[in-house]
Chains A and B, each alone.
Chain A
Amino acid sequence: MISRRTLIAGTAAAAGVVAAPWVARAQAQRVQVNFWHGLGQPLGGILEQVVAGFNGSQTQFQVNATFRGAYPETMQAAIAAFRAGNAPHIVQMFEVGTATMMAARTAIMPVHQLSTDTGVAIDPAAYLPGVRGYYSTSDGKLMSMPFNSSTTILYYNKEAFRKAGLNPDQAPATWAAVREATQRIKATNAAPIPYATGWPTWVHHENFSAIHNVPLATKANGMDGMDAELRINSPLHVRHTQMLVDMQREGLFRYGGRDGAGEAVFATGEAAIMTTSSGFRARALREVPGGAANVGFGYLPYHNDAIQSPLNSIIGGASLWVMQSPNRTRDEYRAVAEFFKYISQPQIDSKWSQDTGYVPITLAGAAQLRESGFWAQNPGSEIPTLQLQRGTATENSRGLRLGNMPQIRVVIQEELERALQGQQSAEQACNSTVTRGNEVLRAFERANR
């Protein structure tokens, strides 16, 4: 048996040498699809393995995945390429670019239309509601292909909790509990930084609004129209911002910078509590001193006097957009659709989730993770998925569709930074965010009317 297999392999290798030109031609005859992504290492490598898996699973199509820098750079590259007439077939776009892409009517091919045109079935009902809602029109038509999705959760350092005399097996569930824990941590000097956060806007504004069932913006957070206006100066938002300012003044919270920059202090073991992307899990397990045993997980905290049972959180991450370009053939679209179908299979989806820490995007994939015992063996890994499905989604928790959202995130962070420095009050920060953010929204509306 072994010898026969070796023999076959040997023959194949020998034939390969002779037939190399033929193989190359066959390669060229495959329908080529360009796929630009924005995932650095190690995630990018895992993504490329998924792509390689697709390429190996059939002989008609070939997807070529290239890393184009972080999400914003990938977005710029795709826009520039579109304007120059050579857009990639597929581009991975972060969730906050959704509104921009949807408004680009003739630059993109909606996934539901791709499915109809090519006859490759892509059923929206197969995906987690929290995931598909973010990338669908308000009547439920899928615009882009859900892909790497995460949400924000809480991490805590068990060693620091132990030192502070807190229960290391229980994550603080509410902001009141977080605050109390940080006071203990500071008083006992259990960690240099009691609390820090990654992704300030995603955690403290976007997901905060969703789980508390308050609007981030009118028009169902922009899903129902481009004329939405920000609402993040509600009393609850002001109160929460005030809490962050107070905690920072009392030395309970340290602002670590925009986007993911704040995560570093948890990885080094300096911070005792962290709220950030569920995608941070792998790094936390690998880097926190004391290793995996030292990292605890919890749901995103909420204000228990504002809402009895918090709603589902919303996703972040990215989806895959199909771009149009002159001279694109039916076969190429077909290849794209087949690729989408491939990555939506439960076993591919659940493996992707296991390898990367992203949530599974299909219901079947999630079920597989539960049934295989993966969740049970890896404590905390079920939290993001369960949190995304918690309660019944309202128009405040379905997702966001605000134009120029990346720019709005910058505005929110800027105003928050000014409040944390004591240059303005929490209320001023929230009001000023709304004023400036609305200007950004109006600019988007004007440019896309």
Chain B
Amino acid sequence: MRKRVIFNNKLLPYLLLTPQIAVTLIFFFWPAAQAIYYSTQLQDAFGLRTQFVWFENFEELFRDRNYLESVRVTLIFSVSVTVLSMVPALLLAVMADKQIRGATAYKTLIIWPYAVAPAVAAVLWLFIFHPSVGILGRLLLRLGVPWDYALNDGQAMLLVILAASWKQVSYNFLFFLAGLQSIPRSVIEAAAIDGATPTRRFWTIIFPLLSPTSFFLLVVNLVYAFFDTFGVIHALTRGGPGQATTTLIYRVFVDGRENNLLGPSSAQSVVLMIFVIALTMVQFRYIERRVHY
């Protein structure tokens, strides 16, 4: 769709677009092209020697059992974060949707954690679950649970999932609440007159009506878990123990930044770009609607 009435100006629209396009070209397209180029190169840390190695970096990557392992870690992490941040949010939203006293206050008290940076959330939870400092960490040890996230894969994973999910509940809560509030009361009341039990009413009427919201949140949370949780892992476990919490993004960082492996890290970037493009394609219908409505 487009406007019927427009301005006729030859140069101005280009000028208006220049800043955005410039940033896009310099900081998005150029680095993306560089990533493809570098992925075929091998270079020392200081950039003094560069060689062209064809697809050697990719071959090494897919031979690396730890890289394949980090795919698995990423999946477990992302799915868990999505579930753990959506289910409590739905429960809280259903409760807050009731006409009870103080609903607005509850809302405010639930949404503010959204403002907390993932890395800061990680530090807050670390302070609680640290084995020798944290209040719950020490409690677990006293109860005889061998709590040590520095050594136990599962516990480390649990901690990063917890810290990553915590702030995201607020976000999901808001959307579920908005979704619930847009369901007409009359629909629910009609069902009540038909004699449906409250639980049944929720599953047969309310939940299906929420499914567009749920689907949307599913995608958003997966994207969040993929890309925005780097800070949580960096602050809490640095990818360990072993490589138990090394996600794909964390691995790009470690190889590119800490290990100074320009080529191998770029090869991973290329793989991730292909993945993101595929993900966007899946989302495409949804976005298309958004763009062309």
Q: Shortest distance in angstroms between B214's beta carbon and chain A's nearest beta carbon? A: 37
CB A84 to nearest CB in B, in angstroms, measures 10
Task: Judge if B150 is at the interface, Cβ distance under 8 Å.
Answer: yes
Specify which of A79, A407, A421 is in contact with B46 (CB 8 Å cutoff).
Answer: A79
A interface vs B, CB < 8 Å?
72, 76, 79, 82-83, 100, 103-107, 254-258, 261, 264-265, 268, 270, 404, 406-407, 413-415, 417-418, 420-421, 423, 436, 439, 443, 446-449
Binary flags per residue of B203-238, CB closer than 8 Å to A gives 1, else 0: 000000000000000000000000000000000001
* Chain B, residue nearest A270 (CB): B132
Cβ contact within 8 Å between A421 and B44: no
The answer, yes or no, to whether B264 is at the interface (CB within 8 Å) is yes
Which residue, A82, A258, A417, A446, has most C-beta atoms of chain B within 10 A?
A: A417
Q: CA separation between A17 and B43, bound complex, in Å?
A: 54
Instruction: Say yes or no: B240 contacts A406, CB within 8 Å.
Output: no
Query: What is the distance, in angstroms, from B130's C-beta to the closest C-beta of chain A?
Result: 10
B49 closest partner in A (C-beta) = A448
B129 to chain A, nearest CB (A): 14
Q: Are A447 and B259 in contact, CB atoms less than 8 angstroms apart?
A: no
Q: Which residue of A lies closest to B149 (CB)?
A: A257
Do the beta carbons of B240 and A258 come within 8 Å of each other?
yes
**12-35 of chain B: CB within 8 A of chain A:** none
Q: Report whether A417 and B48 are in contact in the complex, using a CB–CB cutoff of 8 Å.
A: no
Are A417 and B47 also in contact (CB < 8 A) when A255-B150, A446-B42, A447-B42 are?
no
User: B48 touches which one: A106, A257, A407, A420 (CB < 8 A)?
Assistant: A106
Report yes or no: A265 in contact with B132, Cβ–Cβ below 8 A: yes
Given contacts A414-B241, A417-B242, contact A264 B45 (CB under 8 A): no
Residues of B that sit less than 8 Å from A by CB: 42-49, 51, 53, 60, 64, 66, 132, 148, 150-153, 238, 240-243, 257-261, 263-264
Chain A hits for B152, CB < 8 A: 421
Q: Given A413-B240, A443-B261, verify A79-B150 contact (CB < 8 Å).
A: no
Main secondary structure of the interface of B (DSSP, over half): loop
In the complex, are the beta carbons of A261 and B151 less than 8 A apart?
no
Write the chain A residue with the least CB distance to B66.
A436
Chain B residues with CB below 8 A from A83, complex form: 46-47
Q: Which residue of B lies closest to A83 (CB)?
A: B47
Apart from A254-B148, A258-B240, list 7 A-B contacts with CB within 8 A. A104-B46, A255-B151, A264-B132, A413-B240, A446-B53, A447-B49, A447-B263
Given A268-B132, A407-B259, A413-B240, decide whether A256 and B45 contact each other with a Cβ distance below 8 A.
no
Q: Are B258 and A417 in contact (CB under 8 A)?
A: no
| Assembly CA distance A421 to B238 (angstroms) | 18
Residues of B within 8 A of A79 (CB): 45-46, 260
- Asked whether A417 and B240 contact (CB < 8 A) given A265-B132, A407-B259, the answer is yes
Cβ contacts under 8 Å, A415 to chain B:
242
Tell me the complex Cα distance, A192–B194, Å.
64
Compute how far the CA of A431 lies from the CA of B138 in the bound complex, rounded to whole angstroms.
Answer: 35
Query: Quick check: A448 and B44 within 8 Å, CB to CB?
Result: yes
Q: CA of A265 to CA of B64 in the docked complex: distance in angstroms? A: 35
Question: What separation, in Å, do the CA atoms of A79 and B260 have in the docked complex?
Answer: 9
- Asked if residues B261 and A72 are in contact (CB atoms below 8 Å), the reply is no
Q: Closest CB-CB distance, B8 to chain A, in whole Å? A: 46
Question: Are B259 and A257 in contact, with the CB atoms below 8 A?
Answer: no
